[in-house]
Amino acid sequence: MENILENLNSSQFEAVTSMEGYIRVIAGAGSGKTRALTHRFAYLVNEIGILPGNILCVTFTNKAANEMRQRIHNMTGDNDTGYINTFHGFCVNILQEDSYAVGYPKSFLVLDNSDINDMLGMIYEERGLTLRDMTFRDARNKIEMEKLCNRPDYYHDLINLSIEELHQKYLDATEIMDIIFYGYLYQEKKCFGLDYNDLIKLVLYIFSKNKDIKLKWQQRLEYIMVDEFQDIDSLQYELMEVLCGYHHNLFVVGDPDQIIYTWRGADIKYILNFDKEFPDVKTIIMMENYRSSPQIINVANSLIDKNKHRIKKELIPTLSDGETAVCHFADSAEAEAKWIAEQIISLKESGVSYKEITLLYRAHFVTRELETALQKSEIPYVLYSGIPFYDRTEIKNTLAYLRMIAYKDDLSFRRIANVPKRNIGERRMKFIEEEAIKNNCSLYQAMCLELENDIFKGTKAHQFVDMIESFSSQYSDRLISELVSDVLDKSGYEKALRTEGSQERLDNLAELKQSIFNYETACGEESLLEHYLAHVALFTGSDQQEKGDRVKLMTVHAAKGLEFPYVFLCGMNEGIFPSKKTNTLERMEEERRLAFVAVTRAEKKLYLTEAAGHNIDGSPRYPSRFILDIDQNLLNYTEKPKDGLIENARGFITATEKHLPDNFEDDLFAVGQRIRHNILGAGTVMEINRDKLAYLIKFDEVKTARLISFRVKLESE
């Protein structure tokens, strides 16, 4: 075991050894915050003597949690690494222990998007809806909005209504959104499923209704640490506040300059006002950057300094001198992509591997020309926007087998009852569904009851049931890695893929087996199948790992928390980065923070590229204001910008900034509120359109509703 306090700088040492009370660490990009968190955890365990099971450390991705868990295991030598998890993953831990308080079994399902799509498919079929009414993606998004904003108390129906009452509410619904929403709640209740949005809501509900359960968790968690605190939303903040309510030991780490998820609910006020909300807060500043060259750090500092709403600070470089950041202005998007490909080839010839090179961009459409250029130059690459690993068919099918063994739920049954082919097609599935309704039971139970029915002659239904029953009776005594190999063999699924010659799918299954082995290694041999299934249901695209020597292409949002030796920041044009959708000064500052995040991903060398030409509407393309924000002495232009280009760009930016209003969020009128317009008269606010920064208002003297900009002065009536 390494010396926990060795090789820490003064601010890291202070963070690691500060124990009691409320502690806020402002940690700049690349300043070693993960090191501080893991060493503090190990210090609590090894030096103070705190039991790992009494420590909660919250991260924002499963990948980060796994890496942190492994580091802590190496430092403490203890297989018990306490609660190192995402907020939602930790809520799964709570519910697996206390879900009885809301009438849910410990073996509840954690639903992912694929499960929700399956549920929507059933609802659409039952109620005669089509994708013309609403796509599954739109339906998922609207369900999320309903749960978070429009029907925040929905969980009362999910918890308190019987399955029959919820079903009737679904059948009585006539509006499309009501049909989808209550149909979805009914499907959730039917299989004891909970989605991403339910987890924190139900935990907070349990804590509000059961003081003993709340106190148990408060007393258990003697020390709480929260990583990426700048990205916390209101529900997560409320949960954190409750959990630290007994010991009052809360340690948060974040950087206000890296908040880029306000559109997802993150609120900068939680980190900025932390010292006002909690008593006797100790603030520690960590600004020494151990990731990037001084040249890259200087670019980052110069860029973010243009934001006004921030804690004034600067990253301090610690590495030796590197190369000046390169800026390339191309004549077209095609020429920009071609130049990038040429630079990649040059780097490769100088000994740099492809996997050390990453292309970052604000929006996916930028990749069209990039991919074409890479393909022409025969440069291998991976695009981080394809099907996430855990959404691939063969992975979903394998996990459905594991879920079937643990839960015997309808969603998993529908997915794999006939995979591989067992002659249980549409007609027989319809029969099973009718029997399930008649007997008020699950689809699997219905098939078990009717196995001797003539309808199952000539099928492999018997073999399927025998296999599931055999595994269900003994899975709790087996390692998950052994179980999955056996399931893939006994089910015939792996053999079927071999027969098809699906080598890529077989490779993906091998990767899944390895990931399960890694999970067991990190969590210890006591890993439970139910815990693994809940864990993997919360995985996202950002949690996957790609292998091989390939150039990476990804959005800046996807790159958050990562680092790369050589970074090309592409498409640095006004209307691309910053996005043309940026319509307030506050959002412009978030765009600049996003550019700051992109710059600070680079370790050795940074390239900024943009393309001249014209936009779709015929307007000229200008370089991004973020390039112009940077002290021009810090950039090495491949060619001197054309005469007047910079001056014209600055003129365009100044003109557009005049039309960027301040954020109005705190002063908005509410839906239903009566207002008065100085020309159109009195009216009622019907909707608030935040994308267009406008109200939809029905004026008393105007026949149809009007969209009125936030900029226009309105008065309460």
DSSP-derived pairing of the beta strands 109-110 and 325-330: unpaired
Active site residue 33: yes
Active site residue 228: yes
User: Which strand (E) or helix (H) includes residue 22?
Assistant: strand 22-27
Helix %, strand %, coil % of the chain (to 5): 50, 15, 35
Cα gap 323→293, rounded to integer Å: 8
CB-based contact 225:58 (threshold 8 Å): yes
Active site residue 601: yes
CB-based contact 532:480 (threshold 8 Å): yes
Q: Which of 34, 70, 372, 445 is catalytic?
A: 34
Q: Which of 98, 115, 222, 227 is catalytic?
A: 227
Q: Does the bond joining 578 to the residue before it have cis omega, within 30 degrees of 0?
A: yes
| Structural tokens at position 260 | 């880029």
- Nearest C-alpha neighbor of 246 from the set 225, 224, 262: 224
CB-based contact 102:159 (threshold 8 Å): yes
Q: Which of 338, 408, 428, 601 is catalytic?
A: 601
Q: Is 589 helix (H, G, I), strand (E, B) or coil?
A: helix
Task: Transcribe 410-424 into DSSP letters.
Answer: HHHHHHHTTSS--S-
User: Which strand (E) or helix (H) includes residue 474?
Assistant: helix 461-474
Active site residue 258: yes
Q: Is 501 helix (H, G, I), strand (E, B) or coil?
A: coil
Active site residue 321: no
Q: Where are the alpha helices (DSSP H) in 501-584?
A: 503-523, 529-537, 556-559
Q: How far apart are the first and last CA of the chain?
A: 69
Partners of 252 in the β-ladder: 24, 226
| Structural tokens at position 503 | 């080598």
Active site residue 520: no
Instruction: Please report the sign of the dihedral spanned by the C-alpha atoms of residue 154, residue 158, residue 160, residue 164.
Output: positive
Q: Which of 24, 33, 291, 560 is catalytic?
A: 33
Please, what's the b/e burial string for 436-463 (b: 16 or more CB within 10 A of its CB; e: otherwise)?
A: beeeeebbbbbbeebeeeebbeebbbee
Task: Transcribe 251-297 into DSSP letters.
Answer: EEEE-GGG---GGGT--THHHHTHHHHSTT-EEEEE-EESSS-HHHH
Q: Which of 228, 435, 574, 603 is catalytic?
A: 228
Within its chain, how far is the Cα of 54 from the centroid?
27
DSSP-derived pairing of the beta strands 55-59 and 602-611: unpaired
The letter for the amino acid at 164 is E
Cα gap 345→249, rounded to integer Å: 52
- Phi-psi domain of 25 (left: phi exceeds 0; alpha: psi -120 through 50; beta: other): beta
Q: Which of 81, 258, 343, 600 is catalytic?
A: 258
Cα gap 156→202, rounded to integer Å: 9
DSSP state at residue 623: B
| Beta-carbon contacts of residue 187 (< 8 Å; ≥ 6 apart) | 119, 122, 123, 193
CB-based contact 491:484 (threshold 8 Å): no
**Positions marked active-site:** 33-34, 227-228, 258, 601
